[in-house]
Every structure is written in C-alpha cells, then in structure tokens.
Structure 1
Amino acid sequence: MLDPVEPEGLITAMLRPHPGGMSRPAVQMEVKLERQGDRLWVRFIVAGDVGAVKWPTDQGGGRADRLWEQTCFEIFVRTADGYREFNLSPSGQWASYGFVGYREGMTEAAEIVDVSPLDLASDMLALEARLDLPASAGKLALSAVIQALNGDRTYWALVHPSDKPDFHHPDSFILDLP
C-alpha cells in the first residue's frame, strides 16, 4: 500500500487500533497528508475487508455534529490557543471544533473542510479532503472510529497514550505538520 518513494512534502502515516478494543474488521488504515499553503490535504485509506465496516450513507456534505458516533476520520491540530478537531465522515459531512485546553471550551471553529467523493474498490475505501489550517497550526494527531456491521466500534490512532481510547490526549499530538 505504501508508495516506494513519496513526493517531497507528502507524509504517510499508519493508524493502529486501540489494543483494548473489541474485535474489529480485518482492515488496515493509512493516512497521507500534504500542506498546501494555508490548507491541509489529507487522504484516509482503509484497505482490507471494507465490506465488514458500517459506512455512513451519503448525506451530500455540509457541517454536522456527532459524526464520531459512526465510522469517522479525525484530525487534531495543536494551536497557540489550544487545539482544533476536524471530523470527516464518509457521508460527505464534516465538523470543526476549537478547544482551549484538554476537552475544555469546545466551540464550533471557523475553519472549513471540503470533502471529496469517496474512492471505492472491493478491498479499499479512501476519503480525501482539504481543510483550513488555523493560523498557529502545530503538531497533529490523526485518528478514526471504525464501526463494524454489528455496531461495535474500534478506535484507531497514530498512538494510544492511555488505557482507554482518547483522541484528545495531549500525548497524541506527535506528527509534525508538513
């Protein structure tokens, strides 16, 4: 799945399931990122038994809340005044929130997201998006919620610094912004 040579500026990262999670679909998750001026291009790729994943139905895009209750991809960006959370749904919907501290002061953020139509194959689904970066963007955390057909959710991230899934954990912000 990995390209042998990445173009300059393109970062590829693998997400891992939380070790304390339930049984999960037999999938792997890769994320590609590239900074494009004041925006971030991102591509989440789920490969393997994608038919075992419960995918949200197409909702035509737009801002929406509570996307993490279903299969959803997430990007967290450290900022000078806290951090931003971006939720990207295979439904085409998205959300952006600002926090002033660890899970504190949640507000709707001004940054917007453009979610592209899904790339689908029998053994792969990819969601691509471009999102506005906050002015003082710093380190990133990447994560995903994958819901199985039976409703069980597994939690994926670059790292899992606590015994319970916690995408907001300060030690999750480990990736340098490209």
Structure 2
Amino acid sequence: MALGTFSLICHPQTPAMGVKSVSVAWEARGDALMLRYRVDGAGGLVLPAPAAPERHDDLWKTTCFEMFLGQAGTTYREFNFSPSSRWATYAFADYREGGRDAEMTIAPAIVIRREGDAAICEVRLSRAILDGAVCAGLTAVIEEMGVDGKGGHKSYWALARGEGRPDFHKRSCFTLQLAAAEAP
C-alpha cells in the first residue's frame, strides 16, 4: 500500500546552497513502513561517517532525516534517522514537553546511497510504530559544504513551515493525515 511521495519545503530563513529539492516516498508494505528520502543537488551534502546501527542522541546536528507522528490530543513521537545508520526516537506529552527516550522494539534499517547528483536514504521501520498515529510530519536537516569548503551550512526542510524560525515540533508541521488503512 503506497501513501505517496511528498516534496519538502526549504524554510526561507535557511536557504540551501546547492540542494535543489528534498522529497520523501512513504510506502507501507506488509508489516514494514518504508521511507525513502531523496536529496537532489547533493554534490556538497555533508554525510556523517558510517557507524553502528544503534540509538544515539544529537543526530540533528548534521544531515538527518526525521519523522514526527502525532497522536490524538497533543502527544507525539519524534524519529531521527542518520545516514550513518544511527537512529533515535523520543516521546512528548505536548509541544516540546515531557521529552523522553521512546522505546523501539525493532530498530530501523537505514541505508544511504548516491545516484548521480542525488543522495537517497532508505529507512525501513516496523509498521507497528503507526499504531495510534493520526498525522505525520516529514522533515530533514540538510548540512552542506560552505563556500569555505567546510561543512556547517544547514537548511531545514518540512512538509509545512510554521512562522518564525524552523521548528519541526509544531503540530502545524504534521500535515500528513494518516488513514486508518495505514495503521497496522
């Protein structure tokens, strides 16, 4: 069952340098949820070094792909997927409140590859993570080489952007409504 492919919007306060677009393909297959993040114009993309596929904090400090799952009320979960193969997940009771490590019974499988001038990060998750979710936000932190040849230039991409600085935790960014058929 495919939900679709979604284009992310670059926040105007953080324009990209060489990246032309970021999109996410969402597909539910059997007991798996597949996310495929595609970065076009990725020649200057900074990727973290490969690492053991384990839970790790602060992944958003460099290129990182993310998903937020909103539940009824104000609770939500945040998922971070690093091209290094590390991951993290957090549970919140309300906007940035009660943040704590959330359990993942099955760790995500994360693979990054290049296709010409594109970088593609595929994430395979247990479809069970959708249980109770009513909406989703798909986001990306993209780090590129600066004009000085060093990393550090970041742009922030999301399905929708709120007012002010980039903030993926705002419920207004969770614009993807999940159909009951997407739940396990």
TM class by shorter chain equals: 0.7 to 0.9
Report the Cα distance in structure 2 between the residues aligned to 1:39 and 1:138, rounded to whole angstroms. Answer: 18
How many Å apart are 1:129 and its aligned residue? 1.0
Structure 1 runs of 4+ with >6 Å offset:
none
Kindly provide the CA deviation profile for residues 25-62 of structure 1, in whole angstroms up to 9, marking residues without a partner as x.
Answer: 233111000224564211101112x1211111111321
Kindly provide the CA deviation profile for residues 74-103 of structure 1, in whole angstroms up to 9, marking residues without a partner as x.
Answer: 000012360000000111111111001000
Structure 2 counterpart SS, 1:41:
strand
Give the aligned partner of residue 165 of structure 1.
166
Give the aligned partner of residue 11 of structure 2.
18
Greater mean alpha carbon deviation, residues 164-173 or residues 126-135:
126-135
Give the aligned partner of residue 149 of structure 2.
none
Give matches, 1:67-146, under 5 Å: 67-80=59-72, 82-111=75-104, 112-132=106-126, 133-146=129-142
Report the Cα distance in structure 2 between the residues aligned to 1:94 and 1:114, rounded to whole angstroms. Answer: 7
- Mark the CA change 1:77 to 1:23 in structure 2 (over 3 Å): closer, same or farther: closer
How many Å apart are 1:134 and its aligned residue? 4.6
Report the Cα distance in structure 2 between the residues aligned to 1:71 and 1:26, rounded to whole angstroms. Answer: 12
Q: Structure 2-normalised TM-score?
A: 0.85
5+ unaligned residues in a row in structure 1: which ranges?
1-7
Report the Cα distance in structure 2 between the residues aligned to 1:176 and 1:22, rounded to whole angstroms. Answer: 27
AA matched with 1:167: F
Q: Do the aligned residues in 2 keep the contact of 1:73 with 1:144 (CA within 8 Å)?
A: yes
Pairing 1:45–2:38 present: yes
Report the Cα distance in structure 2 between the residues aligned to 1:43 and 1:134, rounded to whole angstroms. Answer: 17
- Mark the CA change 1:124 to 1:57 in structure 2 (over 3 Å): closer, same or farther: same
Greater mean alpha carbon deviation, residues 18-27 or residues 86-95:
18-27
Q: Do the aligned residues in 2 keep the contact of 1:113 with 1:129 (CA within 8 Å)?
A: no
Structure 1 counterpart SS, 2:167:
coil
Give the aligned partner of residue 3 of structure 1.
none
5+ unaligned residues in a row in structure 2: which ranges?
147-151
- Mark the CA change 1:56 to 1:34 in structure 2 (over 3 Å): closer, same or farther: same
